Structure 1
Amino acid sequence: MGPILVTGGSGQVGGALERLAPAEIEIFAPGRSELDLTVPSELTAMVRSRPWAAIVNCAAYTAVDRAETDVVAAWQVNALAPAALAAAAKAADIPIIHVSTDYVFDGTKRDFYGEDDPVAPVGVYGASKEGGEQAIRTAAPRHVILRTAWVVSATGANFVKTMFRLGAERPQLRVVADQRGCPTSADDIARAILHILGRIEAGPYGTYHFVNGGEATWYALAEAVFARAATHGRPSPSVEPILTSDYPTPAARPANSRLSTAKIGRDYGITPRDWRGAIDEIVDALVKDQA
């Protein structure tokens, strides 16, 4: 396989891709100084600069609350940049993998969301990510859109790292317990992408969901973090479950972010592990980093 162009290398998934890719796969993930995602001509020039085997777009404007007022920047990164990459991918006749989000749904469905369920984003972040999906679909026939949710890891900014830090600072925490989703390891997303890259030339193409198995609330996830941390002798604060209405935010959060992974299992043979094992692994890494 030829070299892979990865955007968003400084993020959780992009960083995991660089770290976990086998030696025979060359990952090139230019930093912000080398590639400005808000300038479409730079993206086009980067795609033309080498004979890439594929593009993996992990870049995103993920500041959900700030996006409500920083609308232009969110749309530039989440919609216009994917549009430019998709057009360049089609011109170069190479496939593209694009990482998307549960926020394209409004969260009102009672069951797990499937890939064909209607999208209905309720905020700027979700709308801009849905715009990116549409750009990919319309401009690049050879595409895989990979929706995921509740991404966590031992690096970057995420819920597990925040809970791990606050657990050592406070005796009690209040955590939302009426939003449900699938906590998902960035490393596992990267492994899924690497698996797809191995078959990307022939496909199949389309939209897929990848999250870790099972489901949780933010409250249950926090409890799992502290339970694992306690096995290492770390503090275990008491956690009070609260409602979303008790913790208002500028952007609405989907009450249901659960995604079905049946399609990716059928088409690519990918069976995600349970989220609890992934969380234990991340907490173990955080403890090790502090040792």
Structure 2
Amino acid sequence: MRIVSLLPSTTEILFAVGAGDDVVGVTFECNHPPEARRRRIVSTSSMPEGLTPAAIDAHVAAAVARGEDLYRLDAGALADLDADLVVTQDLCAVCAIDVTLVDDALAHLGCTADVLTLDPHTLDDVLASVLRLGEATGRLPAAQGLVADLRRRLDVVREGVARAADRPRVVVLEWTDPPYAPGHWIPEMVTLAGGECVLGVAGEKSTRVPWSAVLDARPDVVVVAPCGYDRAGAQAQADALVAAGTLPDGVLVHAVDADAMWARPGPRLVDGIEELAGVLRRHRDEARGTQEV
């Protein structure tokens, strides 16, 4: 089987279930595992490089308003690869190439590849997508084993959280300029990690909010998780927010590898939950110690 993956998350899943050797085409963002970088790139971004978060938001809003695509599909590369299966998404036009572009390109090329479209909104949806990819690629037993291990790890976190006396109030910033409250699986991640997600709704889209909403939420912890940024990029934005006095006084600010463990609907979401559970546990311990003193 010859597979083209148009999502970084599905590329990760395909390699994780043992179908990596079948992957012949990927996007410019497919960087995990490292060997994925050696596959032919068939999708790139139309966004200029070096933009600030505010400029990125403005560029995306303007492009969407004009009906322009944010990604470019290399139809020639797609034709050369002669794929049997193309994996794409129908979740977010800002995150990856739109499925309609893929369908149109395949029809134009006369390509008969099967198109598997994934649209996860919750953690259960993400795990279900692992099974769908396993089934589509003939790796269902491996996919089932992966899902079972991820659920086991989530159970360990859940058991640890069950013993906690309280739940810190958590604001996750999916973007910082302007601020965006989280949606999709991220509020679930906070809940599973032992926090109370005080902005954003599980299973829904992320939403732009004013800074006053962040302050009014009275968070104990602010998780800086700007979509598409690694930990260093998120840390730089977190540091800027702290230096500017934008966040509430005394709040714990934690920057995460959003690109790897929060924004991509793949196995590493569980890594993000485990990390946040540790952060919130330490926050509770420190708060308890302060109260005792």
Relative to the length of structure 1, the TM-score reads 0.37
- More contact order relative to length (CA 8 Å, sep ≥ 6): 1
TM-score (normalizing by structure 2): 0.37
